[in-house]
Structure formats: structure tokens, C-alpha cells
Chain A
Amino acid sequence: MTIKWAELAIVAIATIFSAGTVVLLYGLGVRLAAVAADRRPKGALQNAVSKACFGLCGLAVVVGVYLIVPYFH
């Protein structure tokens, strides 16, 4: 019997890393949006960075879809 420990470890690391990235980006987006809302009418910078974070997070999800669809490979 061969248990693929290496694969198991890779799956675990990949899971934690990618989920962590998505949550980190989205969390930063949420925080900066809240900061910007508090500083209104100032806070344009925070607002822009917040948007960028959401955008990057969306990109991460798109990469996920790309991985799902074998047609793209």
C-alpha cells in the first residue's frame, strides 16, 4: 500500500495558502473600505486600494475557475 504523503502535504499547504490569500485580500478590502467610509469625504486612496484588493481577490477566484475547466489547459 502506498499512501501519497507528499501529495497530501502539498494539498494541505495549497489549500491553506490559497484560501488564506483570498481571505487576506478580501479582508483588507473590507477594512480599507471601512476606513475610507470613516474618513469621507477624504479617504480616496484607501478607497482605491480597497477596490484593488477586491479586484485581486476576484482574480484569484477567476484563476480557480481556470483551474476547474480543462478546456483552457
Chain B
Amino acid sequence: MSIPLNHLLIFTSLLFLTGLYGALTRRNAVGILIAIEIMLNAVNINFVAFTSSLKNTSPELGQVFAIFVIVLAATTAAVGLAIVVAIYRNQKTIYTDEIDLLKW
């Protein structure tokens, strides 16, 4: 079977926008991190889809970049969740509109 690039790109656009909706509307900081993971996954599929179906590219290129993005997503999750735990310990909330220490 052949996978049309168009359909895959439309799918990843919708997946990215779903993640964007979550990142914009969640109040919970962990929920925002979850939505960011969805967005990163959509971008990863785009990397692999482009390099394995366009001419004049090698498929290694996209997969290596996807691996780098996965590593950086892991660091994002680790640091972000550590910050969330630290904020919860100090402020007793992880709702982003209640964390207003730096606002006056």
C-alpha cells in the first residue's frame, strides 16, 4: 500500500492543533505538559513522513531528527514535571492562573 503524503500531513496538522487547543485551555500545568507531548509527536510524524516520501532526501535524516526530538521531549517532561512538583510544594496549587507570584 502507498500512503499519500497529503493525508498524513492533514492528520498531523489536526493532531498538532488538538495539542495546541489543550495547551491553550488547560488550567492544570501537568495537562499543559501532556498537550505539549501531543504536539511534539505530531511534528515527529511530519519529520518521518517528509523524509521517507519526498525526493532528494534520505530517510535517515528525518528519523535522526525524530530521535533528537524524542530526547528533548524527555528532558522537557523531566524538567517541567520537576518544576510542577516544586511549585506544588511551595504554592499548594498547580493551576496556572493561581500561580501569580511574579504578578503584582
The reply to whether chain A is a binding partner of chain B is: no
Q: Which residues of chain B have a CB within 8 Å of any CB of chain A?
A: none
Q: Which residues of chain A have a CB within 8 Å of any CB of chain B?
A: none
